Structure 1
Amino acid sequence: MGRKNKRRRYRLTLEYDGTNFSGWQKQMDARTVQGDVLKGAVRVFGEVPMDLQGCGRTDAGVHALEYVAHLEVVADIGPHEVARKLNQTLPKDIAVKSVEAAGLRFHARHNCIARSYIYQLRTEKSAFGKRYDWWVQAELDLPAMQHAGSLMTGMHDFAAFAEKKELKKSTKVLIHKIEVFTEKEILKIRVVGSHFLWHMVRRMVGIMVEVGCHRLTKENIQNILEGHSDVLPAHHTAPGAGLFFEKAFYDSEGLAEFLKE
């Protein structure tokens, strides 16, 4: 007699091009990453009870380098085979980088202690950049941008960056690190935080660019964080195309090592 299938939970690491998605979270009337992965899982496992949860929401157009999700399903398939079969059935703009066996207590979002994003922008036009970076048509003061980032590092109330519906809950966020650096002709801004509000990273980037263009000052940022500024971060939201979910962290040691780099 064959072995009876039981509930299994897999930890998935995904890479996706978010250009043609309305974000991660499943929606009834839009294409989403969660929706497409669930459809792929149905083709792999059949119509069985399953649950797919991600480590956080990503906005429409936002990409991911190492996005973590967990898939719970009644099955008896090894992780390597799950990865192979999912990659065969998923669309070309989603790739499964790895699949690991996880305990039933592992939760991609609840167990995640920090997340990092990278935002890419250019000051020179590129024919290939539209999907993956923001073309800022100005000279940027990078030291000023880095200093602006340092002002937003630490525990702050980011209510000014939040949507109205988020104000009912705590808007305090711990920002572990913000760095500004260049790789070839691309300027990158890395933001590492405990979690993020809706559009928060894109609004932080937009404010930093305004500082880099000398249209805002460090005093403006301090006033925004203290809640008495007429500058609205929502008016400076950077485009979604330049934003990449970089990494999810599940242990303090791994986070500490990453922050040292």
Structure 2
Amino acid sequence: MTFRYALELAYRGTNYHGWQIQPNASSVQEEIEQRLSRLMGNNPVSVVGCGRTDTGVHASYYVLHFDTDKALDPEQLVYKLNKMLPDDIGVFSAQQVTDEFHARFSATSRTYHYFIHQKKDPFLLDSYYLAPEINFAAMNRAALILLGKQDFTSFSKLHTDVKTNICTVSEAKWNQLTAYSWYFEITADRFLRNMVRAIVGTLLEVGYGNLDPDDLFRIMESKDRGEAKLSVPAKGLFLVDIQYPEHVFLDMRTGK
């Protein structure tokens, strides 16, 4: 008999070459699989994540699932796994789910935040330090152009293996945290590689006055990555939420 479990977790991506296992580089997935395999009596365990994050990108909320032939106590699983994992990876909860649940394909939306600050602060290392003169109103006007179902080729890393670059964005806006710190929030049904960082980099050019908000129309229609601006550094980017249909997954944060 096979049991499927879902884990809710978070990680700081600074020390990792992204989520996904890759040769000769540390990854969050590898760290978790190694510990889970040890917990299962050194039997190999493969985990499926809700999506990829690139090198240096963080997740304040992430979901994975794995299958095992052992019935597990969720509370004990969380306790033991957290004792084994490095300090920059933490598991919030574990729960048994049906075979219908898939951490990646069952997800209906994902939300990212990109953090910036305009005053040097040694306690904001996971945020991008920028010059103070930025027009956030102009950037929010430009962000409205991102909403809806569109082709985001202009904001995608080249030569990826996806079948389509069509994404549906339901939220895109800048929010103020303090007098000198902001974050960009974007929610979509799916994201392309490097998409959020390329969008933020382009919006910042609007904020600096180097682009007009309406230039986003031209950039989107060009379907040319060369028309968009440089990507911002990975350190400011966080995956913060994943939504699932209620009938396939119990979100332990809300009980739904």
Q: Tell me whether the two structures share a fold, i.e. TM-score over 0.5.
A: yes
Count of matched residue pairs: 247
Q: Is the 8 A contact 2:139 2:213 kept in 1?
A: no
**Cα distance change of structure 1 residues 125 and 111 upon mapping to structure 2, 3 Å threshold:** same
One-letter amino acid matched to 1:77:
L
Q: Is the 8 A contact 2:156 2:198 kept in 1?
A: no
Instruction: Using structure 2 for the length normalisation, give the TM-score.
Output: 0.91
**Cα distance change of structure 1 residues 200 and 230 upon mapping to structure 2, 3 Å threshold:** closer
For residue 164 of structure 1, give the secondary structure of its aligned residue in structure 2. coil
One-letter amino acid matched to 1:162:
S
The residue that corresponds to 1:205 in the other structure is 200
Question: Of the candidates 200, 219, 242, which is equivalent to residue 214 of structure 2?
Answer: 219
Question: Of the candidates 13, 22, 25, which is equivalent to residue 17 of structure 2?
Answer: 22
More helix per residue: 1
Q: Is the 8 A contact 1:116 1:248 kept in 2?
A: yes
**Cα distance change of structure 1 residues 197 and 230 upon mapping to structure 2, 3 Å threshold:** closer
The residue that corresponds to 2:6 in the other structure is 11
Give a deviation string over 1:73-104, Cα, whole Å, max 9, x none.
22121111111111011111000011111112
CA distance in 2, matches of 1:67, 1:33: 11
Question: Of the candidates 245, 251, 257, which is equivalent to residue 245 of structure 2?
Answer: 251
Instruction: Give the Å deviation of 1:51.
Output: 2.4
For residue 46 of structure 2, give the secondary structure of its aligned residue in structure 1. strand
One-letter amino acid matched to 1:157:
D
Root-mean-square deviation over aligned CA pairs? 1.9
Q: Is the 8 A contact 1:113 1:194 kept in 2?
A: yes
Q: Is the 8 A contact 1:50 1:74 kept in 2?
A: no
Instruction: Give the Å deviation of 1:21.
Output: 0.5
For residue 160 of structure 2, give the secondary structure of its aligned residue in structure 1. helix
Q: Is the 8 A contact 1:118 1:245 kept in 2?
A: yes
One-letter amino acid matched to 2:86:
P
Instruction: Give the Å deviation of 1:179.
Output: 1.9
Q: Is the 8 A contact 2:142 2:214 kept in 1?
A: no
Q: Is the 8 A contact 1:178 1:189 kept in 2?
A: yes
**Cα distance change of structure 1 residues 18 and 230 upon mapping to structure 2, 3 Å threshold:** closer
Q: Is the 8 A contact 2:20 2:27 kept in 1?
A: yes
**Cα distance change of structure 1 residues 149 and 102 upon mapping to structure 2, 3 Å threshold:** same
Deviating 4+ runs (over 3 angstroms): 228-231
Asked whether 1:50 is paired with 2:45, we answer: yes
One-letter amino acid matched to 2:182:
L
**Cα distance change of structure 1 residues 33 and 230 upon mapping to structure 2, 3 Å threshold:** closer
CA distance in 2, matches of 1:251, 1:229: 34
Give a deviation string over 1:21-74, Cα, whole Å, max 9, x none.
000001121110000000110121122253200010001111111101112122
Asked whether 1:182 is paired with 2:176, we answer: yes
CA distance in 1, matches of 2:221, 2:120: 36
**Cα distance change of structure 1 residues 9 and 167 upon mapping to structure 2, 3 Å threshold:** closer
Q: How does 1:1-261 map to 2 (within 5 A)?
A: 6-130=1-125, 132-166=126-160, 169-184=163-178, 185-227=180-222, 232-233=227-228, 235-251=229-245
One-letter amino acid matched to 1:29:
N
Identical positions, percent: 31
**Cα distance change of structure 1 residues 76 and 231 upon mapping to structure 2, 3 Å threshold:** closer
The gaps in structure 1 that reach 5 residues or longer are: 1-5, 255-261
